[in-house]
C-alpha cells in the first residue's frame, strides 16, 4: 500500500466513521425504525473526504479565474480536482442529496452532512439542496425540473443561495437589490456580499425587491438566477473571493447583479417565507455539520489519549482525562439527540406552505434551539480535543487545529446565536410554537421509566417558558439563556426516551450524567464499565489498536 502521511498525523483518518459511531447509529434506528446502511459513505468520509478536506485547507485553495483566452471574464472558480471529484461522487454515486426527493427521510440526507463533517464541503451540498428544495416546492414549469440535477437524480449541477448584503447582514429586510421586469425577463441589479458557491454554482437563489413592493423583509421576492443568460453570456459578476479562517473548501465571494436575468419563484409577496423555509434547511445542515465537527474532533482526541503516555500511564487512564472525554461525549450525544428530534419534526412539516400549520412552526422553533446548541457543542468539544493533544494540538500541521477553526463558523453561519434567539421568541409570541412544544414533551415525559428525572427536566422547560412570558419586555434580554435551557432539558428527556425505545440503559445513564453536568456543573464518577462504554462509543473505539494504526 502506498505511503500516506495523513495516516501518521491523524487518528481519525482511514476509519469507517459510520460503523464506529454506535450512538448515532442507534439514534437513527430510534428515529427511523431501522438503521440505514451508510457503511460505504462512512468509509468514504473517513478516508477520501477526510484527506481532500485536509489537502484543500492546507495547500489547494479555490481560486477565482477572471480572465480567459477569449478575452472575456469567465468569473469561474478553479477547484482542486480531488475536491470536484469528491463532490460529484457524494451527489451522483452516494446520493447524499437525493433522499427527500425520492420519498425518503431528511435524516438520510443529514446523515451525509454529519459524516462529511467538513463545513466547507458540506456547505456546497447544502446550498445545492436548498436550491433544489425551492424549485421542487415552488418552481414554475421550465425551472422546476432542475431540482433533479441539483439533487443528483439526474446529471449533477450545483446550486447556491445568495441572500446576504453588506448593509444588512442577517437583517434581510435591509436588502437593496432591485428587480424589474421588461418584455423578456426579470432583471436584477444589486450586490450580494457573502455568496458561498460563487464561481462554481450553475444556478442560484437570491432575494430582490420588486419595484413598488413594500419595505422590509415582507417586500422581498425570491428569484432563480442561472449562471448563463439567454444570450449565452455570464449572467453576473464575481467581484472577489474572501479569505476565511476556515471553510476553505467552499469559495465565498461577492456577486454583483447588473441587469441579471432571473426567474420569479412562487408568489412575489411570499418571498420572505420561501427564504426562511430555505434557511431552515441550512440551519439543520449547520447543526448536523457542527455535530460532525464535534465527532471528528472526538475521534482524534480519543485516539490520541489512547497512545499518549504521561506520568507513567496512557493519558485516558488518568481520571481527569477520562472526565474530559466523558464530558465531551455527553455533549455530543445530547446534541445528536436534539438534532434527531429537530429533523424528525422537519420531516413531518416540510411539505407545508404559507401560512403554515402549528406543526411547521414547532419544527422551526426546535430548529432555532438545535442550531444554537450544536454550534456551542462543536466549539467546546473541538477545544477540549485540542487540549487533549497538548502543544501539538495548536500546531497547523495536525488536523485537530483545523477542526477547531471549522467549529467556530457554526455559531455564525445561518444566523448568529442572537438571531436564533430572536427568531425563537417570534415563533413563541406570534405563532405559539412553545405550546405545541409543551404538549409534545409532556406526552414523552409520561412514558419514561425514570419519570423523576424526566419531570425534573420538563420543569426546567416550563419554568423557562414562564419566565419568558412573565416579562415580555425582558424576553429579548434572557432569550439566549432560554435557548440553552430549552436545549439542555429537551436533550435529557430525549436521551431517556431513546433509552426506553431501544431498551438501552446506557442512554439513560448518559441522560443522568449529562443532566448533572448541564444543570449542576458536576459529573459523578460512573462505574468503570459504564465510563468505558460511553467514552468508547459503546466499545467500538476500544477495539482499535491505535498504536498499530499510526506505527511507522
- What's residue 3's pLDDT? 58
Q: Which single residue is written with the C-alpha cell 449533477?
A: 156
C-alpha cell at 468: 419568558
Below-70 pLDDT ranges, the chain: 1-3, 552
Q: Provide the pLDDT for residue 1.
A: 47
Distance in angstroms (rounded) separating the CA atoms of residues 284 and 100: 14
DSSP state of 89: I
CB-CB contact of 502 with 30 (8 Å): yes
Q: Choose among 262, 241, 128: nearest CA to 195.
A: 241
500: its cell numbers: 426506553
pLDDT of residue 2: 54
Rg of the chain over CA atoms, in angstroms? 23
Both ends of the chain: CA-CA distance in Å? 13
C-alpha span between 477 and 310 (Å, rounded): 46
Give the domains, in start order, of the chain with CATH numbers. Answer: 5-139+146-150 (no CATH), 161-269 (2.40.110.20), 273-535 (1.20.140.10)
Q: Is the pTM of this model over 0.95?
A: yes
E-assigned strands of 1-157? 63-65, 76-78
CA atoms within 13 A on the CB side of 158: 19
Cell matching residue 297: 474532533
Amino acid at each position: 500500500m502506498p505511503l500516506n502521511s495523513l495516516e501518521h498525523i491523524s487518528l481519525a483518518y482511514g476509519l469507517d466513521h459510520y460503523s464506529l459511531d454506535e450512538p448515532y447509529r442507534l439514534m437513527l434506528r430510534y428515529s427511523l425504525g431501522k438503521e440505514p446502511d451508510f457503511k460505504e459513505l462512512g468509509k468514504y468520509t473517513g478516508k477520501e473526504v477526510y484527506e481532500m478536506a485536509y489537502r484543500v485547507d492546507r495547500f489547494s485553495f479555490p481560486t477565482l479565474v477572471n480572465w480567459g483566452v477569449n478575452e472575456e471574464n469567465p468569473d469561474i472558480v478553479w477547484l482542486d480536482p480531488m475536491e470536484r471529484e469528491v463532490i460529484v461522487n457524494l451527489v451522483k454515486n452516494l446520493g447524499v442529496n437525493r433522499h427527500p426527493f425520492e420519498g425518503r427521510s431528511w435524516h438520510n440526507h443529514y446523515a451525509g452532512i454529519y459524516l462529511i463533517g467538513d463545513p466547507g464541503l458540506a456547505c456546497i451540498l447544502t446550498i445545492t439542496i436548498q436550491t433544489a428544495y425551492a424549485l421542487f416546492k415552488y418552481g414554475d414549469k421550465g425551472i422546476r425540473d432542475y431540482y433533479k440535477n441539483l439533487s443528483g437524480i439526474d446529471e449533477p449541477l450545483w446550486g447556491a443561495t445568495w441572500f446576504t448584503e453588506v448593509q444588512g447582514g442577517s437583517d434581510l429586510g435591509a436588502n437593496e437589490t432591485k428587480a424589474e421586469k421588461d418584455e423578456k425577463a426579470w432583471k436584477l441589479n444589486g450586490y450580494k456580499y457573502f455568496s458561498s458557491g460563487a464561481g462554481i454554482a450553475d444556478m442560484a437563489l437570491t432575494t430582490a425587491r420588486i419595484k413598488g413592493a413594500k419595505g422590509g423583509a415582507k417586500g422581498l421576492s425570491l428569484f432563480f438566477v442561472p449562471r448563463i443568460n439567454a444570450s449565452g453570456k455570464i449572467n453576473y459578476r464575481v467581484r472577489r473571493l474572501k479569505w476565511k479562517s476556515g471553510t476553505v473548501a467552499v469559495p465565498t465571494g461577492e456577486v454583483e447583479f447588473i441587469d441579471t436575468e432571473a426567474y420569479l419563484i412562487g408568489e412575489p409577496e411570499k418571498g420572505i417565507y420561501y427564504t426562511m423555509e430555505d434557511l431552515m434547511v441550512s440551519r439543520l445542515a449547520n447543526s448536523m455539520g457542527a455535530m460532525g465537527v464535534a465527532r471528528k474532533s472526538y475521534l482524534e482526541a480519543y485516539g490520541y489519549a489512547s497512545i499518549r503516555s504521561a506520568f507513567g500511564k496512557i493519558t485516558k487512564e488518568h481520571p481527569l482525562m477520562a472526565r474530559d472525554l466523558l464530558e465531551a461525549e455527553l455533549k455530543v450525544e445530547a446534541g445528536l439527540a436534539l438534532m434527531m428530534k429537530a429533523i424528525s419534526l422537519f420531516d413531518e412539516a416540510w411539505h407545508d406552505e404559507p401560512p403554515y400549520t402549528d406543526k411547521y412552526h414547532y419544527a422551526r422553533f426546535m430548529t432555532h434551539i438545535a442550531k444554537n446548541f450544536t454550534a456551542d457543542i462543536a466549539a467546546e468539544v473541538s477545544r477540549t480535543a485540542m487540549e487533549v493533544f497538548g502543544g501539538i494540538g495548536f500546531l497547523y500541521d495536525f488536523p485537530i487545529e483545523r477542526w477547531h477553526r471549522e467549529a467556530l463558523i457554526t455559531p455564525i453561519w445561518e444566523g448568529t446565536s442572537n438571531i436564533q434567539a430572536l427568531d425563537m421568541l417570534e415563533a413563541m409570541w406570534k405563532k405559539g410554537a412553545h405550546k405545541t412544544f409543551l404538549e409534545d414533551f409532556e406526552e414523552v415525559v409520561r412514558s419514561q421509566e425514570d419519570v423523576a428525572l424526566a419531570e425534573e427536566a420538563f420543569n426546567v422547560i416550563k419554568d423557562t417558558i414562564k419566565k419568558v412570558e412573565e416579562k415580555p419586555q425582558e424576553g429579548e434580554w434572557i432569550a439566549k439563556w432560554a435557548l440553552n435551557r430549552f436545549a439542555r432539558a429537551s436533550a435529557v428527556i430525549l436521551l431517556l426516551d431513546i433509552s426506553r425505545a431501544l431498551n438501552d440503559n446506557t442512554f439513560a445513564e448518559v441522560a443522568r450524567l449529562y443532566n448533572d453536568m448541564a444543570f449542576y456543573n458536576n459529573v459523578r464518577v460512573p462505574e468503570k464499565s459504564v465510563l468505558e462504554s460511553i467514552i468508547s462509543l459503546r466499545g467500538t473505539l476500544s477495539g482499535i489498536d491505535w498504536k498499530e494504526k499510526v506505527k511507522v
